[in-house]
Structure 1
């Protein structure tokens, strides 16, 4: 599953396009767009997409279950980021959304997110409206999308353990840690793996159980020969997991 290729940009069907300038607060010391910056762009593009097709009022609350981020060539500041967003898979209550980010100087990031539509009042998965489903289906490769976990390994006794203190600014409107914040921990771990900054990489992060504001979070980190795996644990239970590996 970890080497599953992402769907190419379709020639037909609905593809949302937008662009905005990179911001200095989203880049690392080498002026490259960080992983958590990419995650924020994915969130913003999602809401802009809903607004553009007049679908936000009926679908105000989405939760991402998995993000796949293929950094082929890191976008560098200052650049204008061009974004294409389309549906690659669909079901009645969730969908997979592909996003391509490019810059005029060769930056390229390919992503796919597994998004669940939630009822904002009951906080339970809700049906996508017929109108929005019809729009998304024009590019979807399947209409029977199912969740399947990609990262199968579990943390072990030899993995490094470090605390992950939460800040009030990490919490979003759903009253749990925002998905972009997890990727700050991944970026921090990558500082000890410079070789993974020099080649195209795939980052897979799966959000299994929400992390609440008062949770005590421990990171369990495993450095493989060619990859890096991090588990976000609370009380010994895995709430999220991430893996970074080179693209072949």
Structure 2
């Protein structure tokens, strides 16, 4: 299958496991994570996903054995967006894994009617090699509590080849967009998604799916260009550096 072909952007996310305890936490929605309508923005959701992943590892001591992870894909299905000043509840579990990566589901709810379903494809990185590494036996056992799929394979959901466009726009990076590895932080990609969605507010007014897939890192010194394609039912976005695609994104109605 060609790498620039959509495999599926309509994949159904795995249901929560029955009768298995998942990692759970909650947090207040802060004003820095919402828009002018008090909606929890997509970049805010991305930060919550990063935080609960770190908290989940630390709660069981896996921050010592498997501390470094990079995300390859994040899927955010917004059924009913939480709003400020509510408190959001997060539930996290593994829906599939292999020996070097895992698919982690996080469900976000509140005390009213909000519901966001997410899934992240996370790769374990060796602390010395800086390359994909085998997940520790202890963490593999823990991941296996909530799934019987132990042969997870990477499949792209989005096209990696953008159309030609005269409407490219610059996306200047800020110092605060950069993580300790000199890469653009995952949440910063969602800043760009929110930026282009300003031209398509109708997509946010109904249940919608938003996806970001990472092909290769963007570094602090890179000059990033955004290329968008509005095809009506969906909005597609590519992050380009020197003409090469580093990441792709898509927002579509559910």
* TM-score under structure 1 length normalisation: 0.97
Once superposed, what is the RMSD of the aligned Cα atoms? 1.0
Structure 1: runs of 5 or more not aligned: none
- 1:195 matched to 2:202? The reply is yes
- 1:74 matched to 2:115? The reply is no
1:46 Cα deviation from its structure 2 partner: 0.2
- Listed one character per residue, the Cα deviations across residues 4-46 of structure 1 (whole Å, up to 9, x for unaligned) are 1111111133410111111110000100100000000000000
C-alpha separation in 1, matches of 2:209 and 2:246: 21
Partner of 1:114: 121
1:159 Cα deviation from its structure 2 partner: 5.8
After TM superposition, the structure 1 = structure 2 runs for residues 76-91 of structure 1, keeping only pairs within 5 Å, are 76-91=83-98
- 1:214 matched to 2:221? The reply is yes
C-alpha separation in 2, matches of 1:10 and 1:120: 31
Q: Report which stretch shifted further, 36-45 or 129-138.
A: 129-138
C-alpha separation in 2, matches of 1:65 and 1:107: 26
- 1:99 matched to 2:106? The reply is yes
Partner of 2:12: 5
Runs of 4+ in 1 over 4 A off after TM superposition: none
C-alpha separation in 2, matches of 1:160 and 1:52: 46
C-alpha separation in 2, matches of 1:179 and 1:225: 26
C-alpha separation in 1, matches of 2:128 and 2:216: 19
> For the Cα contact (< 8 Å) 1:99–1:110, is it kept in 2?
yes
- Listed one character per residue, the Cα deviations across residues 113-166 of structure 1 (whole Å, up to 9, x for unaligned) are 000000122210111111110111111241000111100262122362000101
- 1:23 matched to 2:47? The reply is no
> For the Cα contact (< 8 Å) 2:203–2:253, is it kept in 1?
yes
Structure 2: runs of 5 or more not aligned: 1-7
1:224 Cα deviation from its structure 2 partner: 0.9
C-alpha separation in 2, matches of 1:234 and 1:212: 10
- Listed one character per residue, the Cα deviations across residues 188-214 of structure 1 (whole Å, up to 9, x for unaligned) are 111111210110000011011000100
- Listed one character per residue, the Cα deviations across residues 55-90 of structure 1 (whole Å, up to 9, x for unaligned) are 101111100000000000010000111010000010
After TM superposition, the structure 1 = structure 2 runs for residues 1-248 of structure 1, keeping only pairs within 5 Å, are 1-152=8-159, 154-158=161-165, 160-247=167-254
Number of aligned residue pairs: 247
Q: Report which stretch shifted further, 50-59 or 83-92.
A: 50-59
SS at match of 1:62: strand
C-alpha separation in 2, matches of 1:12 and 1:142: 17
> For the Cα contact (< 8 Å) 1:14–1:135, is it kept in 2?
no
